[in-house]
Amino acid sequence: MSSFDPKIIAFCCDQSGYPAADMAGTLKLKLPRNIEIVRVPCAGRIETIYLLKALEKGADGVLVFACYEENCQFLRGNLRAKARLAYAHRMLEGIGLEKERVEICHLATNSGVKFVETLRRKSEQLKKMGPNPAKES
Amino acid sequence: MIKAEQKPIDEILKYLNPYNKILLSGCGACVTVCHAGGEKEVELLASGLRMARQKIGKKIEVLEVTPARQCEPEFALELSETIEKVEAVLSISCGVGVQTLVRHFPKIPIFPGVNTSFLGETITHGVWEERCQACGNCILEKTGGICPISRCAKQLLNGPCGGSSKGKCEIKKEADCAWQLIYDRLKTLNQLYKLEEIIPAKRWGVESRDSGLRRIVREDLKV
């Protein structure tokens, strides 16, 4: 069994991802070990640079937990996040990194189970990919 | 303002290949407005370059700076001390800014990080469109303020071609026909009579780029 524990930065929208993480805690669901949650007021607050810096500074993968489309309290924040992810994907392709390292997941306040399942799936996917070769050493 | 787009990062990486310490210089003017070369884009590209080089085991140190206007000597010269510390400069200002650095720092390689695209207007956030080709002899007064040089694919001066259809251009179907726009605008202004005036062919070889490098000299401003 691999000893590699992928580090995942999970940006969580305050209206969906963060309450979902909270619910996962209430349900005592087990998260993969190496997760760092970053609470943001809206997924639209996440700039492209945050995604790249996370990878540069040591993450193996980045997940953005945002509200379902057409369900953003700030109307277009989740769509903005999605567009910024697409831009980051283009950059990652230019750099030669797998774009799958950065992903968006749409969920709702009560999606504690989905939150954990997504993180587990991501962690398994990153284990197969191996450590991020572009992180600072 | 000048509009630009960042070059593909793999193209930039190719010409930075021999260097291990560079200065990445943005510009606080036009390219900041079109999100191609401002402070944020400097930070983003620097991060991308560092990761790309880390990935192949050939680290690169990237110093970051964004002078207020790289095309003005006063601001370009602010980089003097920093430039001495690096092996090359990647400039993501427009082509003018790149050449200002080249003029003032002749001993260091300076590379462009953006493609300077056109003089344009912000249509909406994230969308820019060409509005001027700096032809050197503005005729907007005759055309209701709409430029047929930059907005008509054929640069026609006296009405549309036969390809204008339902207000759209035959060359770029998504673009409005400039002459349809001119007609509609002059009609709104009750100035359709202006269309009766024949606009003579432009003197491309005298006023425009075809005569070679253009220069403006104002003796009253010289110091």
The reported pLDDT for the residue numbered A2 is 58
Adjacency order of strands within the sheet including B21-25: B61-65, B21-25, B88-91, B110-112
- Residues 6 or more apart whose CB falls under 8 angstroms from that of A49 comprise B40, B43, B44, B47
Chain A residues at the B interface, defined by Cβ less than 8 Å, are 47-49, 52-53, 55-56, 91, 94-97, 133-137
Strands B88-91 and B21-25: parallel
Asked if pLDDT for residue B57 goes beyond 80, the answer is yes
The reported pLDDT for the residue numbered B208 is 84
Domain locations in chain A?
A: 8-129
The answer to whether B137 touches B207, Cβ cutoff 8 Å, is yes
Over range B113-138, report the average pLDDT: 96
Asked if pLDDT for residue A80 goes beyond 90, the answer is yes
Measured CA to CA, the distance from residue A97 to residue B194 in angstroms comes to: 58
Scanning B37-96 for CB atoms below 8 A from A yields: 40, 43-44, 47-48, 50-52, 54-56
Q: How confident is the model at residue A87 (pLDDT cuts 50, 70, 90)?
A: very high
From chain B, the residues in CB contact with A48 under 8 A are 44
Measured CA to CA, the distance from residue B60 to residue B156 in angstroms comes to: 50
**Inter-chain CB proximity A133 and B48 less than 8 Å:** no
Portion of chain A with pLDDT greater than 70, in percent: 99
DSSP character for B193? G
Asked if pLDDT for residue A1 goes beyond 80, the answer is no
To which CATH superfamily is domain A8-129 assigned? Lumazine/riboflavin synthase (3.40.50.960)
Q: How confident is the model at residue A3 (pLDDT cuts 50, 70, 90)?
A: confident
Quote the crossing angle between the two packed helices A48-56 and A77-95, to the nearest 10°.
40
Mean pLDDT of all residues belonging to chain A: 96
The reported pLDDT for the residue numbered A137 is 83
Measured CA to CA, the distance from residue A104 to residue A66 in angstroms comes to: 7
Asked if pLDDT for residue B85 goes beyond 80, the answer is yes
Measured CA to CA, the distance from residue A76 to residue A22 in angstroms comes to: 24
Residues in chain A: 137
From chain A, the residues in CB contact with B54 under 8 A are 56, 133-137
Measured CA to CA, the distance from residue A19 to residue A115 in angstroms comes to: 10
ipTM, two decimals: 0.92
Mean pLDDT of all residues belonging to chain B: 96
Mutate to test the interface with B, among A52, A53, A62, A98 (most CBs of B within 10 A): A52
Between the alpha carbon of residue A76 and those of residues A14, A69, B63, B87, the distances in Å are 15, 8, 34, 43
**Inter-chain CB proximity A47 and B40 less than 8 Å:** yes
Over range B85-114, report the average pLDDT: 97
From chain A, the residues in CB contact with B13 under 8 A are 94
Mutate to test the interface with A, among B12, B44, B125 (most CBs of A within 10 A): B44
Put simply, whether B28 touches A (Cβ < 8 Å) is no
Between the alpha carbon of residue B24 and those of residues B13, B16, B53, B127, B177, the distances in Å are 13, 11, 15, 25, 40
The answer to whether A31 touches A116, Cβ cutoff 8 Å, is yes
Q: What is the pLDDT of residues B203-212, one digit of tens each?
A: 888 888 888 9
Over range A42-61, report the average pLDDT: 97
**Residue B51's closest chain A neighbor by CA?**
A134
All structural domains of chain B, each given as residue ranges with its CATH number in brackets, are 2-118 (3.40.50.2300), 133-210 (no CATH)
Put simply, whether B17 touches A (Cβ < 8 Å) is no
Asked if pLDDT for residue B115 goes beyond 70, the answer is yes
Measured CA to CA, the distance from residue B175 to residue B164 in angstroms comes to: 10
Over range A19-27, report the average pLDDT: 96
Between A3 and B39, the more confident residue is B39
Mutate to test the interface with B, among A46, A47, A49, A76 (most CBs of B within 10 A): A49
Provide φ and ψ at A86, rounded to 5°: -60, -40
